[in-house]
Chains A and B, each alone.
Chain A
């Protein structure tokens, strides 16, 4: 028998009111934990110190939009870049590795984004010091596909599964005839790669309708100030029979796509040095048609301007809920003090010191707060577990319900302090109890 046991007995004695007050704290903590966990996942996702590359090159426009579309696949890509631009960039003295990607299509089943890329994509770490791991193989032939872990579980796909693409996004009804075959399943990464499907860029281009018509390709090249050979102009003037007969072909058909007709939506670049990245970004950004951004900066801006403010608002709101719950605990304990005068008088008559009964009341409110906190912690992660599929469907962000935020640890000392604070006045009433008067009641 110790003071905590005595406090627990007192709580048990008023089980209903104790449970309700602890539950109100639990609900506040639940909301706070859910906010912290989801916010933590979003913050980690959008502020990774390294993506395995340090620049994303894309068409001129919004740097945030480029990062959201190329890395997080949450936005539509802008105007594509000529493939020749990629070839030129790859040879730049500052570039260690450049990987082109082409996005825009989605899988017919599940509408997962398609990333047309080259095998070297998987040489870039998906996060700092975290290389891709695959069950099966990476891309080898034009019709190979590597799928993210979430794609595999959601669609029930495995190595050997075949699938088709929808052209231009889920709202389109144009299903390409060509089929890709899964050759590898990525291990979970906790990044947008988990819900992405990677196909060979060669295969992506080989899909009918993905090639740029020669006339448009020439216009594009001229805009980018690339020299256009006369032979290409002549070819553009001739009727394009292969393209006219669009329907009914399969992927054995060779489009014989010229480099001038190929395009990419963005390019991931790893430079040889940080200074090289700055210099390269400067050079690319001088160009009026393309831009190079370090994705950290627009994402940080997004975090600071929107996500951080939303977090602050939600945390303030949940803090207020916890404070209101704490006040209800105070009211509950304080109201019970009149009924407990005799109980306190008995303890004092048995030799309990004033400080002892004060501590018992304090322990009681602290236990209610902490108990509510523990329940709230479990409920909070439970709430995240329930909400994560919805969040993923709505935003594409993967939230692990077991993800733990260090801030959650601070909750408990705070709750302990809060419990002590609200137990102070009732504790003082117990401290001041006149034993003889209490016993005679």
Chain B
């Protein structure tokens, strides 16, 4: 089992002092190398769920278990290290650092894992996503589709067991949408990585064998 969410609850404090519940997931599981499309309405808690899974946000209660490790039981530095080593993140807005080249953006992901930077692997990953000739270009010098490919290469840099993708195709055109999607799915297949992809697009979701509606298992 790659990912298990167990009795997960998360709420935010209101300015008036009350709390707004956002997540209440009794049970959710993802098998190793399984690919799931998570569909939900805007403001439904998708991003919060991904942040909780990644250990960026702490839940109020419940457990997040990844590769048999209870992430919620780890202290913050351990969670950071676990995230660097086990979780790849692809964001809707790519979140590349503009001062760094494509290669350096991928190396940056490796840098925080504590395993050191591997230029060969970074180059190989970028070549595999079709950017072998754009290694030293900075994000502003790349097209939107190319930037997202760099983000995919960066997410896979540390051999993660789980890849979280938050609306990865929302900022690209239709032509690039399919390319990016294929790239992510193929890369996860090749590397035996579980994929949890959040989307609001029915077309994107339709390409997955397993589609989960957030509202079906999240009752805040």
Chain A residues within CB distance 8 Å of chain B: 1-3, 6, 9-10, 12-13, 342-343, 346-356, 435-436, 439-440
Contact: A12 with B107, CB < 8 Å? no
Contact: B100 with A9, CB < 8 Å? yes
Chain A residues positioned under 8 Å from B91 (CB to CB): 349, 439
With A353-B77, A439-B91 known as contacts, the answer to whether A348 contacts B99 (CB < 8 A) is no
Output the least CB separation between B85 and chain A (Å): 7
Q: Told that A343-B97, A346-B97, A352-B84 touch, could you supply 14 new A-B pairs with CB distance under 8 A?
A: A1-B108, A6-B111, A9-B100, A350-B84, A350-B112, A351-B83, A351-B84, A353-B77, A353-B81, A355-B77, A435-B51, A436-B47, A439-B91, A440-B47
Contact: A351 with B57, CB < 8 Å? no
Interface residues on B, range: 20 to 34
Output the least CB separation between A167 and chain B (Å): 71
Nearest-neighbor residue (CB-CB) of A13 within chain B: B99
Please measure, in the bound complex, the distance between the C-alpha atom of A347 and the C-alpha atom of B99, giving whole angstroms. 13
Q: What are 12 A-B pairs with beta-carbon distances under 8 A? A: A1-B104, A1-B107, A3-B111, A9-B97, A12-B99, A350-B84, A350-B108, A351-B81, A351-B158, A435-B51, A435-B57, A436-B47
Please measure, in the bound complex, the distance between the C-alpha atom of A347 and the C-alpha atom of B89, giving whole angstroms. 11
Chain A residues positioned under 8 Å from B111 (CB to CB): 1-3, 6
Contact: B98 with A13, CB < 8 Å? yes
Chain A residues positioned under 8 Å from B32 (CB to CB): none
**B26 proximal to A (CB < 8 A):** no
From A342, A349, A354, A440, B89 is in contact (CB under 8 Å) with A349
Most buried by B among A2, A6, A349, A350: A350
Closest 9 CB pairs of A and B: A351-B84, A13-B99, A351-B112, A1-B107, A1-B117, A352-B112, A1-B111, A346-B95, A353-B80
Nearest-neighbor residue (CB-CB) of B56 within chain A: A435
From A1, A343, A352, B80 is in contact (CB under 8 Å) with A352
**B186 proximal to A (CB < 8 A):** no
The B82-98 residues at the A interface (CB cut-off 8 A) are: 83-85, 89, 91, 95-98
Main secondary structure of the interface of B (DSSP, over half): helix
From B56, B96, B98, B113, A348 is in contact (CB under 8 Å) with B56
The B139-170 residues at the A interface (CB cut-off 8 A) are: 154, 158
Please measure, in the bound complex, the distance between the C-alpha atom of A353 and the C-alpha atom of B76, giving whole angstroms. 8
Please measure, in the bound complex, the distance between the C-alpha atom of A309 and the C-alpha atom of B219, giving whole angstroms. 77
Most buried by A among B47, B109, B154: B109
Chain B residues positioned under 8 Å from A350 (CB to CB): 83-84, 89, 108-109, 112, 154
With A349-B89, A351-B83 known as contacts, the answer to whether A356 contacts B112 (CB < 8 A) is yes
